[in-house]
Chains A and B, each alone.
Chain A
Amino acid sequence: DTEVTQTPKHLVMGMTNKKSLKCEQHMGHRAMYWYKQKAKKPPELMFVYSYEKLSINESVPSRFSPECPNSSLLNLHLHALQPEDSALYLCASSQEGRAAQETQYFGPGTRLLVL
């Protein structure tokens, strides 16, 4: 099973809403990632969890709050977002996050629209 699943597929939220994006993998990977991708732009790294601990935070605003409840799950909690936060949010996982040849497997993404 080389699948990373993400829910929901689409999300529309107002600037005062609180919502969460969910990501799950069952490949035994110990590193999980959140990326943000705007149209026609490359994925931009937001957060990296390695062995359920936050190892990289790319200076992401606090209105985005990641959570890794266990090695298979990764959440991204959203609060008081801005319209410019509208994007495709991609989750990825890899074996450990430290080795050289670490292919990242991406989920299908959540397309977020902030009104």
Chain B
Amino acid sequence: GQNIDQPTEMTATEGAIVQINCTYQTSGFNGLFWYQQHAGEAPTFLSYNVLDGLEEKGRFSSFLSRSKGYSYLLLKELQMKDSASYLCAVRDRTGGFKTIFGAGTRLFVKA
């Protein structure tokens, strides 16, 4: 089966750095995505990792360790607009390449 764990909520200060962790268990790992979702809106794609290591994209970076079943999303220079839910999603090739979403981490950025 599949299991994705991430913290329910986090709070950070504007201008700071925050790291959102995600651990997963899946039988047919085929890539990991991070999505941002503001309340009442659709998820928007942030990053994709399939090989071990760090992928950097502006203020956002994502890291993957396949042997540990672990990823994190790093947000730098936090802005108020970064307050949102961050969804870790794992692509699983078993059963037809499904993307399974974690419950999401609600990030609150305070002034």
Contact = CB atoms under 8 A, between A and B. Distances in A.
A24 B43 CA distance: 17
A99 B31 CA distance: 10
Contacts of B48: 101, 103
A113 interface: no
Q: Is the interface of B mostly helix, strand, loop or mixed?
A: strand
Interface residues of A, number: 24
Interface stretch (B12-20, B75-83, B100-108): B100-108
Interface in A75-110: 88, 90, 97-98, 100-109
Contact of B98 (A45, A90, A106, A111): A45
B101 A97 contact: no
A14 to B, nearest CB: 24
Interface of A: 40-45, 48, 55-56, 88, 90, 97-98, 100-109, 111
